[in-house]
Structure 1
Amino acid sequence: MLQIPLWKRIVIWALCLAAFLFALPNAFYDRVETHNDASEAVAASAIAPTPEQTAALGMWPDYLPSSLVNLGLDLRGGAHLLAEVQLADVYADRIDALWPQMRDALRDARDEVGGIRRTQSEPGVLAIQISNAAGLERAVAIARTLAQPVTTLTGAGQSDLDISGAGDTVTIQLSEAERSATDLRTMQQTLEIIRRRIDEVGTREPTIQRQGDDRVLIEVPGIGSAEELKSLIGTTAQLTFNTVLNRTTDPDTPVEAGQALYPSESEPGTYYLVQTTPVVSGEDLTDAQPAFDQSNNPAVNFRFNGAGGRVFGDYTARNIGRPFAIVLDDQVISAPVINSAIPGGSGIITGNFTVEESTELAVLLRSGALPAELSFLEERTIGPELGQDSIDAGRMASLVAMAAVVVFMVLCYGWFGVMANVALAVNVLGILALLSVIGATLTLPGIAGIVLTMGMAVDANVLIYERVREELRAGRNPVRALDEGFQKALSAIVDANVTTLLTAVIMFAFGSGSVRGFAVTLGIGIITSMFTSIFVTRSLVATWYAWRRPKTITV
């Protein structure tokens, strides 16, 4: 086992060198961060870099890796919010939007149902009273013509409305399947809107995730205060449908009064010249869902309210064959061609979409404004000074832990302990390198995971060396003792690390926030510690033995 092929040694030390290179930028964090910010700004700009950007780009060589470990909220400072989405408001809005359609449909059957009026009911319920109770069955049948199938897999085959009649009153509300589908869409839309608004200000690695059925966790490192974050989330994105005048790749295309040149979000380098006065705005859009067209290709169904539907129907009838631009925050997210008139306020957008693209477009179409009010249940501001204190404390804890481990290994195992400490250093570099490459966020619990990994990393070496001691006491020669020590300890090392890795996977799958941060660093640390204990330590021992050729060894 000590006879390691040359190619395998090259692979092992190449991985160690890669770990060093990818971990290196974290030793010059501020310089590399400044370089990365300037690089992103230059890449996003169509003009030459400014002198300040050029100086920032020179702060780190382009031929070296520049990925950094992202610092979490507790290390960088920033704002933390826990918000509750008022899903019941969405139900009420959907039912309120249904009343004009129901009123118009019942008016056409006035001879059978008589007069109609909306009566008082709880939010999310539409109660319509008719003057001719004998026409109740007819009124219920008319109401059912407005129902649509639920568009989710779990609600397949079910209607989106529960319709019933009693006495002289028709009652309409969303079905349970539609409420579940609406909850999913609303939460998805809320997350997308919040993410887009926060990304606009260039914050680094925000955490925006759903918690439970109706809550959203928002953590943004580097932002001034929770109030500033709430103000940012509360702003309204502008969604409009505009007439397309021209499509070009020239960002300097002349623009006349009443026109604007907007970049395409899906086609980099493409610009659309549009009329600034919108045909309809996002306020008139009531829903947009991914769907499939008649050829079973991914598409997007959309629906306007009554006023928006009439305007859009007249516009499409006059502009068949021409594109129209869907503009969100001064960017064209799509520019479909009008194939036919779209009366009634409902239509379909087709194109060369994938299923993912049609789903994303549907979410973006619904992203004009937050779909429901957010109630902030928890808000917290962490200052940068406290974050720096956390970094210093974490660094000190790591150094103390490493120093204790290093001293222990040298005192207990002598020269073999030194080789174990070299493998431990490689292990820490490997953790930092992997965290940098995958863009993971390091938090205080994550630092705890790294400290714990240090102890687990040398634990594997302890198992190996104790096995070697047993073989030496049994009278084995040095080569046989080392060989047997590594072989017999392997199963115990793998068993211990695999069970701990499974624990880390479970914590990541079912945990959130700081628990996930701990699970990520623990899991990565287990992988790197297995590599260093099984391969790096063995390679070091084999190299040392081939060089010294001792007659006896003392572990």
Structure 2
Amino acid sequence: MNQNSLWRWLLLAAVVLVGVLYALPNLFGEDPAIQISADSGEVLDDGFVSRVEAILSRADIEPVSVDIVDGQLLARMPGDTAQLTAAETLREVLGRDYVVALSLAPRTPAWLVGLGAEPMSLGLDLRGGVHFLLEVDAQSVRETAMERYMQEIPAFLRARDLRYTSRKIEDGQLVIALRDAATLDKAQAALSGEYRELSIGEASNQSDTLTVTLTEEEEQRILDFAVKQNLTTLRGRVNQLGVAEPVVQRQGASRILVQLPGVQDTTRIKDLIGATATLEYRAVALEGDPERAARTGIAPAGTQLFYERGTDRPYLLKRDIIATGNELVDAAATVDQESGSPAVSVTLDGRAAKRMFEFTEKNVGNPMAVLYKETIITTTYDENGEPQFEREKVEEIISVATIRGVFGKRFQTTGLTSKEAHDLALLLRAGALAAPIAIVEERTIGPSLGQDNVEQGRNATILGFALVVLFMAIYYKAFGMIANAALLLNVVLIVAVLSMLQATLTLPGIAGMLLTVGMAVDANVLIFQRIREELKAGAKPQEAIAGGYDKAFSTIADANITTLIAAVVLFIFGTGPVKGFAVTLSIGIVSSMFTAIFGTRVLVNALFGGRRLSKLPI
């Protein structure tokens, strides 16, 4: 009775071996490191390694190692002080052509790395870094939508020979004055049939005039789209920075959480993640007097008035846009070969390239302007602590050039400073924001605080584990020591699974692990108490062991399944720290079922099974 078959031993040995191997990398610790990537996206080579080593040598900094990892340079440093000093030196010497980020590099041996074993990722609260809570500007989303309809709806009316006399955006709605009442009725009917997402009605204070506004459902839809688009764009920008294990996720209807572990300099990060700079390529209007438009503030129909950067010279640009920053598939900071000035080399997608080719083919010898657009948002707070946004729109012409030949997909844009060319190339490569964002919350967590969190979490886990081990050893004797061995295996398996999944461990995750330590023993307590009851009822030792495990199984399974359901619900509907807690708890529940029921049964069978016993040490 209570004999182990070979498959039980093999399964337990395999689980222990895999668990130990993949949990082992977490014991080797990490080195403070500097991660360098090229802004242009090019792969760094050994020549760049020599250059960095020479820079560090001149600054009397001795790195532990300098290597190329996945096309980026990783320099390991002997300590935090050397890391910070080296980062400042490299940023100063390398300039803005390279992204220099603080990081932590695992000291995992090469043979473990070869097996795919890596340590767990640590969250912001354990590693230190920066935390931003961003809010998408709903007002700008509405304004952008109405500006788009201001271009689209008049074209729709012209195509149907429905003439209008004027159009303007007033109080958040598009106001279109029609020629007469008959035209108004036809226009309203046509627009209502085509644009079901808009609310179209007659103006109360003006005759023969239509008002076009967004419906509540359409406002919510475009805001939701803007948040999703910004989420994708921000992830691209963060990836361009080369930060390890970043967190970029949505929170609520219009907010986005950005957490960058290991980053301490917030100024550069804020400039890039919140920047809304983009470009528009437009034709310069050959008709009209820009000086007169500047004096009167009235531009001729089909044109807009803008000023050139630096000279404040007025230009009339056609409203039709040839290409925008959203239609770029690649961009890189470069130097113009003719003038030697900073430039951005851009590559357009298929549709924009076709439009550019058709435009330049018909307009050789005519001027084309590059319009630089950016919305700068300043956040203030009212007496209730609610964020208030102040918007400043920058729209200026950075370049007006005569089209010398036909081009389409690839060309250069000049008229920028070196910093603007560098930053704009990064932003265009990562994609433009669908709407401006404002920083409503900003926190910087120092590496020392993160280290304190790690130590306190580790100490709490060790203390909790030690108290549970002591209780089980005293109360259940030899069986308690078997339960303690299973508990140790359970912790190893949790760490191993988190490492294999490359899940991010946070303080709530440590709390989930500590809770699992307590819960894991519950199953053994139920089993051991059931064995005691069987012995008191007169069962023989072997019968009591078998009865204890068999009769306690359903109770243990029910309790763990209900807890697992709660953990899954927390993961689905929770955000941030709640998800981290749920992941650790879920893994702990599954592993504790294996160790507490299967693992301890194998050990109990090995020690006490198949023997004539007068009593059990329990």
Matched, 1:215 2:266: no
CA distance in 2, matches of 1:58, 1:538: 34
- Whole-Å Cα distance in 2 between the matches of residues 284 and 9 of structure 1? 60
Question: In 2, are the aligned partners of 1:504 and 1:523 still within 8 Å (CA)?
Answer: yes
Pick aligned residue for 1:118 from 146, 149, 167: 167
Amino acid at match of 2:20: F
Query: Given the superposition, is the C-alpha separation of residues 367 and 97 from structure 1 closer, same or farther in structure 2, using an over 3 Å criterion?
Result: farther
Letter in 2 for 1:506: V
2:325 to 280, 283, 287: 283
What CA deviation, in whole Å up to 9, does each residue of 1:320-366 have, x standing for no partner?
xxxxxxxxxxxxxxxxxxxxxxxxxxxxxxxxxxxxxxxxxxxx999
**Alpha-carbon spacing, 1:480–1:239, altered in 2? closer, same or farther (3 Å):** farther
Q: For residues 12-45 of structure 1, give each alpha carbon's deviation from its aligned partner in whole angstroms, at most 9, with x where no partner exists.
A: 22112111111110111316x979x89xxxxx94
Q: AA paired with 2:533? A: E
From the superposition, tell whether residues 430 and 116 of structure 1 become closer, same or farther in structure 2 (CA, over 3 Å).
Answer: same
**Candidates 188, 192, 212, aligned match of 2:232:** 192
Letter in 1 for 2:67: Q
- Which of the residues 580, 591, 610 maps onto 1:528? 591
The equivalent of 2:464 in structure 1 is 401
**CA apart distance, 1:456:** 0.7
1:507 aligns to 2:557 (yes or no): no
| Cα displacement (A) at 1:313 | 4.5
Distance of aligned partners of 1:366 and 1:63 in 2 relative to their CA distance in 1, 3 Å threshold: closer
What is the root-mean-square deviation of aligned Cα atoms in Å? 3.6
Is residue 379 from structure 1 mapped to residue 419 from structure 2 by the alignment? no
| Whole-angstrom CA distance in 1 between matches of 2:198 and 2:600 | 66
Instruction: Tell me the equivalent position of 2:407.
Output: none
Decide whether the 8 Å contact of 2:3 with 2:610 is kept in 1.
Answer: no
Shift in CA distance, 452/90, structure 1 to aligned 2, threshold 3 Å:
same
2:472 is equivalent to residue 472 of structure 1? no
CA contact (8 A) 1:80 1:226 kept: no
Correspondence 1:102-501 to 2 at 5 A: 102-104=153-155, 106=157, 113=163, 116-119=165-168, 121-123=170-172, 125-141=173-189, 143=191, 147=194, 159-166=196-203, 167-235=207-275, 281-283=323-325, 311=356, 313-314=358-359, 368-501=431-564
Counterparts in 2 of 1:223 and 1:365: CA distance versus 1, 3 Å: closer
Q: 1:89 aligns with which of 120, 131, 140?
A: 140
Contact 1:207/1:219 (<8 A) preserved: yes
Pair 1:367–1:121, CA change in 2 (3 A)? farther
Structure 1 pair 239–11 and aligned structure 2 pair: CA distance change class (3 A): farther
Q: Retained in 1: the 8 A contact 2:127–2:447?
A: yes
Alpha-carbon distance between aligned partners in 1 of 2:277 and 2:539, rounded to the nearest angstrom = 75
- Structure 1 pair 47/13, CA: closer, same or farther in 2 (3 Å)? same
Equivalent residue, structure 1, for 2:8:
8
Relative to structure 1, the CA distance from residue 434 to residue 199 in structure 2 (aligned partners, 3 Å threshold; closer, same or farther) is same
**Match for residue 93 of structure 2?**
none
Structure 1: gaps (5+ residues): 39-43, 149-158, 242-278, 287-300, 319-363
1:60 equivalenced with 2:110 (yes/no): yes
Shift in Å at residue 83 of structure 1? 1.2
- Equivalent residue, structure 2, for 1:75: 126
TM-aligned CA distance change 1:198 to 1:316, over 3 Å = farther
**Cα contact 2:25–2:108 (8 A) shared by 1:** no
Residues 46 and 77 (structure 1), Cα distance of their counterparts in 2 relative to 1, 3 Å cut: closer
How far apart, CA to CA, are the structure 2 residues paired with 1:469 and 1:26?
Answer: 39
**Shift of the alpha carbon at 1:135?**
2.2
Name the counterpart of 1:290: none
Instruction: Name the CA distance, whole Å, in 2 between partners of 1:375 and 1:75.
Output: 26
| Corresponding pairs, count | 437
SS at match of 1:512: coil
Task: Please report how far the alpha carbon of residue 505 of structure 1 lies from its aligned counterpart in structure 2 after TM superposition.
Answer: 1.2
Post-superposition Cα deviations, 1:390-445, rounded to whole Å, max 9, x if no partner, equal 00000110110011011101101111111111100000001101111112111111
Following superposition, the deviation at residue 498 of structure 1 comes to: 1.0
TM-score (norm. length: structure 1): 0.70
CA deviations over 1:30-89 (Å, ceiling 9, x no partner)? 16x979x89xxxxx9485696732898994324344322111111011111111101331
Structure 2 runs not aligned, ≥5 long: 37-41, 50-64, 69-74, 77-106, 282-320, 329-348, 364-426
- Deviation at residue 285 of structure 1 after TM alignment: 5.2
Provide the C-alpha distance between the structure 1 equivalents of 2:554 and 2:108, rounded to a whole number of angstroms.
49
Q: 1:485 to 1:46 in 2, by over 3 A?
A: same
CA shift for structure 1 position 449: 0.9
Q: Do 1:191 and 1:209's aligned partners in 2 also have CA atoms closer than 8 Å?
A: yes
Question: Aligned AA for 2:201?
Answer: S
- Tell me the residue number matched to 1:28: 28
Distance between the aligned counterparts of 2:541 and 2:233, measured in 1? Answer: 65
Q: Secondary structure at the match of 2:176?
A: strand
Secondary structure of 2:616's match?
Answer: coil
Output the CA distance in 2 between the equivalents of 1:317 and 1:5.
84
Instruction: Give the letter for the 2:581 counterpart.
Output: F
The one-character-per-residue Cα deviations of 1:473-525 (angstroms, maximum 9, x if unpaired) are 12222211111111111111111111111111111122111111111111111
Contact 2:28 2:108 in 1 (8 A): no
Q: Distance in 2 between matches of 1:185 and 1:409?
A: 55
Give the match's secondary structure for 1:52. strand
